[in-house]
Structure 1
């Protein structure tokens, strides 16, 4: 999807992908990442997800990347935190204690700018990208995070019934994208109540990716 697609969604507040509470798959399976207080976790294409507040509440430092500056401004407003704003490479960075969110195209974020992270939580990034972009994204993410462990959330549904995003990413694609560098563990698959966007039956699936 082009940047204008997402900017327009935030401008129109067309953010059905935004959940009003921390994702239940995160809260259930977060311990599988085996993080310690103060560890940093990276959230690609993070929006203003409530998952960030939940992670901060677990004494985990959060670093994210988000295309929409409007989303990042809303995030800090909802956290009731005043950020410092700086230019880091080609991206802006909104930061405060235990949180840093880069604003811009994730492909412009480099390993040195991101810094070390103990894990990745990908709830809405891989599934937001069309097929022709996903392999590039997966390679870039593994490069900048140095193949950090991941908690990955995907959707499975009949793509012919509804265009993405979010796009359907089944077991075969997860294996294709990640099996070279990760051991893959399917944690659970749950039916999306009422269907995805209220239109098609779907399941939300959680994966634990651990480096080989």
Structure 2
């Protein structure tokens, strides 16, 4: 994850959008969770999507490793916040928002028990060998029956070293085959990314339910 620390340090954060993700807005109703539920957002950065989720009445728990990203979220949205915790994991809180700063993979088992989760850019930021450990953390930090919305990004991996790393539909189904139900809500063919030399680019939206 040193790569992402460097990207934040150099302010090369083009993956962050200035509007809410349209696929989140379109498909979140399919997740069908109560307004008062807790939504976990792994590798949240300073994503505006957390604001949209909070406007639905949800309590948001973001997980982020880069301190600069955490500070940017609260500063840019004019949110006063308090901080507490150890050096390994610090909780930053403001109203419905809590961002836990630290290594996602080192979180204590079951510390969150979230009702739902949202992943637009976490799995594609994680190298392929680390993805099973990521899914294990999703299982550990959510309740039985929790539902998640996963938005993927895929391309022939040989076209680019990554990140973002390609995440094919088949890989999603394989990773979540044990203890989850997976439903594809939409699959899109995207325009070629000429700047990065990518073709045959796709994005899929999945509803994932923990058994």
Higher helix share: 1
Distance 1:117 1:61, change over 3 A: same
CA–CA distance in 2 between the matches of 1:196 and 1:44? Answer: 29
Q: State the match for 2:206 in structure 1.
A: 207
Structure 1 residues 197 and 102: alpha-carbon distance in aligned structure 2, compared to 1, 3 A threshold: farther
Q: Is the 8 A contact 1:117 1:145 kept in 2?
A: yes
SS in 2 for 1:134: helix
> Deviations for 1:63-113, whole angstroms, at most 9, x for unmatched residues?
010011100100001221111011158301110111100001101222453
Structure 1: give runs of 5+ residues left out of the alignment: none
Q: Which runs of 4+ in 1 moved over 6 A?
A: none
Q: Which runs of 5+ in 2 are unaligned?
A: none
> What is the CA distance between 1:197 and its match in structure 2?
5.7
TM-score (norm 1): 0.92
Q: How does 1:90-169 map to 2 (within 5 A)?
A: 90-114=88-112, 116-146=113-143, 148-169=146-167
1:42-81 equivalence runs, <5 A: 42-81=40-79
Measure the CA separation in 1 of the matches of 2:106 and 2:6.
21
> What's the CA shift string for 1:18-44, capped at 9, x where partnerless?
122111111100001112222110000
Query: What number of residue pairs does the alignment pair up?
Result: 209
Root mean square deviation of aligned Cα: 1.7
